Structures are given as C-alpha cells and as structure tokens.
Structure 1
Amino acid sequence: MRWWIPNALTVLRLLAAPGVPVMFLYFHRPAADWLALALFVLASLTDWIDGYLARLWKQESKFGAMLDPIADKAMVVIALVVITGYSGMNPWLILPATVILFREVFVSGLREYLGAKASLLKVTKLAKWKTTAQMIAIAVLFLGTGLGYVEDTHQRVLRWTSSEATQAGLVLIWIAAVLTFITGLDYFLKALPHLKGSKND
C-alpha cells in the first residue's frame, strides 16, 4: 500500500494549489488569510515529505518526477497571484513576482520544446533551494496579511507586527527571485546549444 503514498501526497499538493484562493471566496478575512496560510504551509511540507518517503522506500517513479515540479509551480504561481492582489499591487512585490512567474513559464516552455532532450534540464539542487525560498517567502507574506487583522494585544503576544512580517516577506521574496533568475539562466544556457538547430536535430 505504501507505494502510492508519495504520489498521493504530490497529487494532494497539486489539488491544494487552487484551494488557496478558494479560502478567500468562502471565508471572511482574517479567517481566509489564516486558512490560506495553513493550507499553503501544509501543502509545502508535502514537497519534502513525498520526496523523503520515495527515497526512503526506494519507490521514486516517473509519475512522481513529472508531477512534483508541476505541483510546486502551481502552488507558487497561484499563491503569488493571490498575495499580489491582496498587497494593494505593491511594486516591491510585483517585480520579484514577475521574475518568478516569467521564469516558471519560460523554463516549462523550454522543457516542452526540447521534448526528449528535456532531461538536460533536470532539477538541480539550487532549483530545489529556489522552490524552498519561494514557499517560505510566500508563507511569511500570508502571515503578514493575516497579522494585519490581529488586534494590537495579540500582535504583542506574537512579537511580530503585520508590517514587520510583510517587510521580512518582501526581503525573502527578493532572495527567491534572485535564485529563480539564476536557475532560469542556468537552464537556458544548458538548452541554448539545442536551440540553434532545427527542432528535429
């Protein structure tokens, strides 16, 4: 039975991605912020758990290898859209978010174009750190929006105000954007020799 657990966790992470904006459709704020944060954090944790279990049980599969980065991208892209919308279109968030969204679409397009040669763009360790940085940054930004609705007394208990959490989230999202740009450039340079000839070369 355990053979399907890593893949099931990946599928659940993929399904959780659209669940983040759904929280804002069915719940009032700040409940929606906290529920979106909880869902995002839990789903992000499965990114580590499913890979760990697959390696532990020696049950890594092509299905999991294909679906895992798709689930990660869906989580990050959808959450970024939600965060950007509720940030009041903060330009300090829009710019790194644009870099991240552009890179994810661009690399996906490269892999699709390369077809059988897409294995040249296998996930690197830096790319995994990039995904981790993105998820942590987004979680902190969700925390910032949630704290914006918490009373001052609760803020003192948490020892973190909405402004402080948002500032920390912005710093983290810029770090994630830099890592995202570097990994995107790395993939492009690896693919470049195969883009100069015809598609069937």
Structure 2
Amino acid sequence: MLTVPNLLTLSRIVALPLLVACLWWPAWAAGYWLAFALYCLMGITDYFDGYLARAQGTVSKLGVFLDPIADKIMVAAVVLMLVATRDIEGIHLIAALIILLREIAVSGLREFLAQLQVSVPVSRLAKWKTTLQLVALGALILGGAVPAEAWVKQVGLVSLWGAAVLTIVTGWDYLRVGLKHMD
C-alpha cells in the first residue's frame, strides 16, 4: 500500500546512498553541507510519515514494518560513515558502538517477541533516545561542514554520549520484557 506516509518512509531508504556518498570524501566540505541538508530532510520525513499515518488513519502493516528499518539503517549508515571519516573517534567510538549494538539487539528481540505475539511499545524514553541520537548525528555532520566551529562537533559528541546512556537504559527495558518470555 503506497500511501503518502509509506512513500515518505521509502524516500528515506532511497536517499540513504546519496547521504553516504555526500560523506564519502571527508575533505569535501560541500559534501557535509549536502549531507546535513539531506539528513535534516530525512529527519523531517521521519516525523511526518508517522504523524500523517496517524492523522489520516492510514497506519499500515508496511509502514509499521518499514519505519523502524528506515530509522535503523539511517542511524547505522551515518554512524559508520562518521567513524570512517574520523568524525567519531577515540573514546567516542564506545558510544557509537553502544548505539549500534542496541539497535541490532532490540531489532532481534522485537522479532523474537513478534513470533510470540508479544508487542513491545516504544517508550517515551526511547523516543527521547532517538531524538538525542538524531541531534547528535546531525551535529556531527554539521561539524564536518564547519570545522572551524569546534563547539558544533562538541554538541554532537556530548549528545552522542547522552544517546548512548539512554540507549543502555531503554535497551535494558526491552531486554527485561523479553526475558519474561524466554525459557
């Protein structure tokens, strides 16, 4: 079912290779600017696909399936590119790794629980985690466009650690629910 919300979600997936290409050459400041603009547009579509689906009553199984996938591959691709370009390095790699590992673990846990017909709703804290994560990655991309403004990258790194902490808390919440259903 290709509704407007589903098309917005699909547009994020289709735009991802372009975002990665913009970040491919770390010395190309214009690439970071283009990546930042595209990343912001992708974030806006992430908000509006869910908003429109609920407002129009067009929440679909395809949308419920695709939206978290689009979110996770976007986060994973951006994190990996920022590590490759050394925008995330040193001790900050731990925060990036925590985020990536949680995304994979929670996806697996949700799949396992879905087979048992157990739904795990997204908590408010998980939404804050996602918001902080998106702010962190956006600031780190923007930091590559304006390297003279070191504070932009610092905002990104502090937000990355904040997201990592919330990632641990929300990941533990999901795991506790999952453990109740395991033999």
Does TM-score exceed 0.5, indicating one fold? Answer: yes
User: 1:135 Cα shift?
Assistant: 0.8
User: 1:30 Cα shift?
Assistant: 0.7
Cα deviation, 1:96-124, whole Å, max 9, x if unaligned, reads 10000000011111122334236432322
What TM-score results when the alignment is normalised by the length of structure 1?
0.84
Structure 1 stretches of 4+ moved >4 Å: 25-28
Aligned residues: 183
Q: 1:92: which partner in 2?
A: 91
What TM-score results when the alignment is normalised by the length of structure 2?
0.91
Are the equivalent residues in 1 in contact too, given 2:8–2:49 (CA < 8 A)? yes
Most deviating of 27-36 and 97-106? 27-36
Q: 1:19: which partner in 2?
A: 18
Percent sequence identity is 41
Cα deviation, 1:122-174, whole Å, max 9, x if unaligned, reads 322222221111111100011111102xxxxxxxxxxxx43111111111111
When Rg is computed on C-alpha atoms for both structures, the one with the higher figure is: 1
Are the equivalent residues in 2 in contact too, given 1:136–1:172 (CA < 8 A)? yes
- Mapped to 1, the partners of 2:43 and 2:117 lie a distance apart of 25
Are the equivalent residues in 2 in contact too, given 1:10–1:71 (CA < 8 A)? yes
User: 1:27 Cα shift?
Assistant: 9.6
User: 1:16 Cα shift?
Assistant: 2.1
Secondary structure at 2:119's aligned position in 1? Answer: helix
Name which of 143, 161, 164 aligns with 1:174: 161
Most deviating of 21-30 and 137-146? 21-30
* Matched letter for residue 40 of structure 2: V
1:144 to 1:24, Cα distance in 2 relative to 1, 3 A: closer
> Does structure 1 residue 124 correspond to structure 2 residue 123?
yes
Give the unaligned 5+ runs of structure 2: none
User: 1:90 Cα shift?
Assistant: 1.7
Most deviating of 118-127 and 60-69? 118-127
